[in-house]
Amino acid sequence: MIWVSFLLSVAYAAPEVASSPLPSSPQAAPNVFAQLLPLLFIIAIFYFLLIRPQQQRQRAQQELWRSLKKGDRVVTVGGIHGVVTQVDEDEVVLEVAKDVRIRFSKTAIASKK
């Protein structure tokens, strides 16, 4: 019961407190650069730690696919080791054993040995 009367007195006093004039203080203009600095910092971190290294890996992989030639020893993404016997525009033929040849897409080549 005591809490109810206290809460009611606070509720009735609230309009008086809200209407009382507050001392006005000069408002400082928000610095836009200071507000954007953390966001710019996060974007820079994402760029240098995630985006740029991924782009470099993609460029290196595309250069590998362009540089494939007959006689290269390669490994596919599936782990098959072989020697390139033929290179077409989008495909390569690998010899994985004597007289065993398999045709792969160039994008299936993971690395050269």
Range of the domain at 63: 32-112
Q: What is the pLDDT of residue 33?
A: 83
- Give me the residues of the chain with pLDDT under 70, please: 1-26, 28-29
Whether 10 is in a domain gets the answer no
Tell me if 1 is assigned to some domain. no
In a domain, 60, yes or no: yes
40-76 per-residue burial string, b: 16 or more CB within 10 A, e: under 16: eeeeeeeeeeeeeeeeeeeeeeeebeeeeeeebebeb
| pLDDT attached to residue 51 | 95
109: number of CA atoms within 13 Å, CB side? Answer: 30
Q: What is the pLDDT of residue 2?
A: 62
- pLDDT confidence of residue 34: 86
7 found inside a domain? no
Identify the pLDDT of residue 6.
58
CATH of the domain at 84: 2.30.30.30
Q: Answer whether residue 2 is part of any domain.
A: no
**How far, rounded to the nearest angstrom, does the alpha carbon of residue 15 sit from its chain's CA centroid?**
51
20 belongs to a structural domain: no
The count of domains in the chain is 1
Query: Quick check: is 15 in a domain?
Result: no
In a domain, 57, yes or no: yes
Averaged confidence pLDDT in the chain: 85
Residue with tokens 């525009």: 89
- On whether the CB atoms of residues 106 and 65 are closer than 8 A, the answer is yes
What local confidence, expressed as pLDDT, does residue 96 receive?
A: 96
Q: What is the pLDDT of residue 32?
A: 85
So what's the pLDDT on residue 61?
96
